[in-house]
Amino acid sequence: MTSSVLIQGREEDNVLKLLEDLLNAETSKDCANIGEKIGEIFKKDEPLVALKTTGFLDGLEKAGRNKKSGFHRESAMIGFASVIRKIGRPCEVDFLPYLPVMLDLFSDRGEVVRAAAKMATDALLNVLPPVAVETRLIPSLIDYLDSSAVKWPSKVAALELLGSLAKSFRDAVATAMGSLIPCIRERMHDTKGEVSRAAIKCMLDLCTVVENNDIIPHIPKLVDCMARPETLEDCIKELSATTFVATVESVALAVLVPILKRALAERSQIMLRMTVIITDNLCKLVPDPAEASDFLPELIPEVERIAQGAAMPEVRALASHALTTLNKAAAAQAAKAANDAERQALSGVRNRLQQFVTEHATCPQNFNMEEILSYVCDAYVAFYNHKNFNKETWVNEMGVPYLTPFVGETAASDCVSKAYDDLHSFYKFINGPDISNLHIEDEELVNTDFSLAYGGRLLLNHTNLRLYRGHRYGVVGHNGCGKSTLLKAIADYKVENFPPPEQVKTCFVAHSLQGEDTSIAILDFVANDPSLAAMKVTREEAAAALKSVGFTEEMQKDPVASLSGGWKMKLELARAMLQKADILLLDEPTNHLDAANIAWVEAYLNAQTQITCLMVSHDSSFLDHVCTDIIHYEGVKNNAKKLGYYPGNLSAFVEKKPEAKSYYTLSATNEKFVFPPPGILAGVRSNTRVILKMTNASYTYPGSSKKSLDDVTVGLSLSSRVAILGPNGAGKSTLIKVLIGEVIPQEGRVFKHPNLRVGYVAQHAFHHLDQHLEKTPSQYIQWRYAGGQDREVLEKETRKLTDEDRAQLQREITVDGERRRVEALIGRQKFKKSFQYEIKWLGKPHKYNNWIPRELLLENGFQKFVQAFDDMESSREGLGFRDLIPEEIRKHFEDVGLPGDIADYSPLSSLSGGQKVKVVIAACLWNNPQLLVLDEPTNFLDRDALGGLATAIRDWGGGVVMISHNAEFVSALCPEQWHVVAGKVTNKDKAAVDNEKFEDLSEKDLKKIESKTTKKKKLTRNEMKAKERRARDRELAWLSSPKGTPKPKTFFSDDEE
């Protein structure tokens, strides 16, 4: 340490003289030159020690605080800048304590002084290592901003400096966000407008370090909420509508937790509900309890208070659930133990390092080494926390240069290496060895860890997605668990760390042509597809692909709108074939397909050895024939929410998971549906009486030359259980639509009992909901049945007034010798075996109203008006048994398997396909219909829901007619089958139902079902008289019996009862 002694002796006077020259230099350039000379002197020796012992830095500080001389203040800042640039590292540790002096001079009146201060802070920032920004610079700036003595221009400068760090030192800023945000948020409410605006800009700059893709779009709104508390409700609503799927780390928590804490203190129950759901979902996405423990404990008292005292029971339940998740995320015992052990290890290394340096130091006794040792140890703690175990960084960058002046280079290297080895070994001990998955020889396409959420619900939590080329994966799980959402996230490349399209190309195939122009020809539809045009797919290639899936040249000229559901699926498959994807994503590929087309799809997929397939399907036979692997949603009940991988098809999976047996039976053990009893149909005493009939009906779609329905005559009664069968495009759905009045036949007629209410679930069931995606299921039913009638019925083609109908209203009818025109039908009453209607005449007061028989109105062409009035009356009659209130609606949805919370609070746009089908079924059953019409009801329903639906239909008392390609479902429910081919009903068969398909039926239950088919014999008039005579004789015998003989409940025998 001879050189340091020289600095303290002979050179010290020279340095102090140069300092005086620097302060009195005439120009800035002279001042900078002198500063460089001083830097050269320090650089020759040990500057880390000399800068402190000579008093040079204290001299610059004194000059910088000289209130009388602006000249000295400017010179001091130039001196700092020149010496810092000349010496550089590792002397930044000596200059950092003087940062407040530099920042204070940003408030100086002299522009040159402010410029010099900017020069000094820039020079200091340029020599700082990233770890020093985290451990020293940011804490120093926070302390500076918290000081009440700082003037506003200096605060603005400090805020601008902090904001600039987000670009150059992202990791350091991200680590310190928990401390930065409270400090900057307070400055956002500063009374000085300049400070407030600078703080808002600084916060926006700092938030650029957030890498969570779910939160990034909301950063401006979040910052605005911090600045303007009155926007809190809008902010929470925006967050509640967000699908959180990305891992939530400390930087995201630092931004969100303060806002969530404020929201949890609100009084609005709706606000509290949204906030606890957001809190619950965010906590599930936190991978590291150590990170969560720094932020989430702030929320625990608030959530606990809500769980105990919220006004709404549902909010209390949600808060209790969120509280459990919070405690798991923020206070896991294993994580706390690990954190305590780590703190002890870091403290031990720090103590040993300090002890070694203190014992072997050869620097002057009056020199305080504590600051430098603390600087090095804090850097090592930061390295450990960031899992940075680069030995070069530990030893040669942040160790040896700082300790060599005290103990020599060799000893410093040995000491720092020992500290590194101790901490690295301890880290490996705490975290354990890496465990790799089983090796599979096939080419790996995807291997990534991710989380998935949708509509405010966490679906998958820190699970792994691993896919291999040529494998066909069946994705199975209950309705709403997120199967289709997973496929869509993969298709949109929204899964974290999923390979980009340049590496792995995906193609999503589903039953949806919404938003597409379906009026154009099929070949044009495919050839003009933008994605195929970008791949330069020719028209000839498109035609060949269509032909390969069954589209003839003639069919390719037909409009897309004329296709049935099955042909639309084949059209989507043709588009997918042309895209040449690495991963084919199929959502319910067998929906709407007949047996022949399902076999074709199976053969096509099995032939693809270079394409990986992910399939969501509720067709157990299809999954058995196609899948090489099963991906199962696991841990739903215990909130683990992981993907489980099982080699083999569905049968092999069920062998390993016996609880999945429901994939092969129609059982309501896991999910039970209960349909409301059908309403009474006035005038219908026999269940076999025809209540809906179509006679010689024919229908042709606009733009098509072929009849979709040709001379069909069918009828339905209350006891009907009819399955309509036939190949794709045969006209099954058209038959249904004509029968229930969705479309009007061009030939023939349709008879419907005036009081009949029909519940209809369309093939594309979601068309009922497409105009109401912003509503919740409960709100949808309230809209649909408000006013006492079904608004969906009013939108049918048969209810819309045409020009001919309007002209019909102008037609005059002779009544009481006077020609009158009908204004409206306002009443109805029974008349003989039919009805008569009260007519309000145009231009006449009500006292002139007349009752006109139904038949007379029909003869005069008022069929549509009579039918509309009948629908209104029947709907009101059905709704008379219902209270259109949220509590009743919630119970109704729960009866069809949709959780009440989803019914009350989740928008329709966020529901899965299976959940939307349940909404449609519940909605059509609300007014207690007597006839249920189901077009492909099994689509989108999982096996549990399918079993619940089948059991509910079996036990229901009304008539049922359905279209389904699910032979298992049809054979278990429908004894009557109509076969449709080319628009004609070719034959009507009777078949025994297969009750063995129902797992829940015992032998006793089967006997009950059989006994229902035997009707009780009706007694003749003489038999009734004899029965009454016997009862009278028994009553007389009791009257003449001794006093005290108990009176029988009835005088009829058991047989007579």
Q: Note the pLDDT tens digit of each residue in 307-340.
A: 888 888 888 888 888 888 777 765 544 444 455 5
Q: Residue 980 falls within a domain, yes or no?
A: yes
pLDDT of 135 over the 80 cut: yes
pLDDT of 551 over the 80 cut: yes
pLDDT of 558 over the 60 cut: yes
pLDDT value of position 660 = 66
pLDDT of 430 over the 60 cut: no
pLDDT value of position 344 = 66
Q: Residue 603 falls within a domain, yes or no?
A: yes
Split at pLDDT 50, 70, 90, the class of 286 is confident
The most confident of the ranges 2-11, 50-59, 228-237, 483-492 is 228-237
Split at pLDDT 50, 70, 90, the class of 194 is very high
Q: 727 and 608 share a domain?
A: no
Distances in Å between the Cα of 1023 and the Cα atoms of 252, 497, 1017 are 84, 83, 11
pLDDT value of position 473 = 92
- Which residues on adjacent β-strands are paired with residue 28? none
Which stretches does DSSP call E strand in 234-346? none
pLDDT digits (tens, 9 = 90+) for 1002-1057: 444 544 444 444 455 677 888 888 888 888 887 787 777 777 777 766 666 544 54
According to DSSP, residue 552 is labeled -
pLDDT digits (tens, 9 = 90+) for 331-357: 544 444 455 555 666 666 667 776 776
pLDDT value of position 1012 = 47
**Last residue of one domain, picked from the residues 610, 643, 660:** 660
Q: Residue 220 falls within a domain, yes or no?
A: no
Split at pLDDT 50, 70, 90, the class of 6 is very low
- The CATH number that applies at residue 620 is 3.40.50.300
Q: 241 and 313 share a domain?
A: yes
Asked if 177 contacts 255 with a C-beta cutoff of 8 angstroms, the reply is yes
Distances in Å between the Cα of 588 and the Cα atoms of 476, 507, 566, 670, 767 are 11, 14, 11, 22, 17
Q: Residue 175 falls within a domain, yes or no?
A: no
According to DSSP, residue 395 is labeled I
Q: Residue 750 falls within a domain, yes or no?
A: no
pLDDT of 921 over the 60 cut: yes
Q: 356 and 420 share a domain?
A: yes
pLDDT value of position 446 = 87
Of 52, 64, 59, 149, the C-alpha closest to 99 is 64
Q: 477 and 566 share a domain?
A: yes
Q: 550 and 618 share a domain?
A: yes
The most confident of the ranges 154-158, 728-732, 910-914, 972-976 is 154-158
Q: 508 and 628 share a domain?
A: yes
Q: What are phi and psi of 943, to 5 degrees?
A: -65, -40
The Cα 647–Cα 657 span in angstroms is 12
The Cα 697–Cα 59 span in angstroms is 105
Q: How many domains does the chain have?
A: 6
Helix (H, G, I), strand (E, B), or coil: what is residue 994?
coil
pLDDT of 436 over the 50 cut: no
171-175, 428-432, 711-715, 805-809: the lowest-pLDDT one:
428-432
What tokens appear for 898 in the block?
Answer: 């949709």
The most confident of the ranges 60-69, 191-200, 541-550, 971-980 is 191-200
pLDDT value of position 638 = 46
Q: 614 and 485 share a domain?
A: yes
pLDDT of 945 over the 90 cut: no
Q: 339 and 322 share a domain?
A: no
- The CATH number that applies at residue 842 is 2.40.50.40
pLDDT of 680 over the 50 cut: yes
pLDDT of 2 over the 60 cut: no
- CA end-to-end distance (rounded Å), the chain: 118
**Last residue of one domain, picked from the residues 380, 410, 431:** 431
Q: 372 and 509 share a domain?
A: no
Average pLDDT over residues 564-591: 79
pLDDT of 197 over the 90 cut: yes
Residue 399 belongs to what domain range? 335-431
Split at pLDDT 50, 70, 90, the class of 152 is very high
pLDDT of 202 over the 90 cut: yes
pLDDT digits (tens, 9 = 90+) for 977-1014: 888 888 888 777 665 555 555 555 544 454 444 444 44
Q: Residue 484 falls within a domain, yes or no?
A: yes
Q: 952 and 1026 share a domain?
A: no
Q: Residue 957 falls within a domain, yes or no?
A: yes
pLDDT value of position 340 = 58
pLDDT digits (tens, 9 = 90+) for 887-909: 888 888 888 888 887 888 788 88
Cβ neighbours for 1041, distance < 8 A, ≥ 6 positions apart: none
Split at pLDDT 50, 70, 90, the class of 610 is confident
Question: Burial code of 961-985, b = ≥16 C-beta within 10 A, e = fewer?
Answer: bbbbbbebbbbbbbebbbbbeebbb
pLDDT digits (tens, 9 = 90+) for 792-813: 766 665 566 677 777 777 777 7
**Last residue of one domain, picked from the residues 361, 396, 431:** 431
pLDDT value of position 83 = 86
Q: 361 and 409 share a domain?
A: yes
Mean pLDDT score across all residues of the chain: 78
Q: Residue 27 falls within a domain, yes or no?
A: no
Q: 348 and 316 share a domain?
A: no
Of 265, 288, 285, 284, the C-alpha closest to 275 is 265
pLDDT of 247 over the 90 cut: no
pLDDT value of position 5 = 39
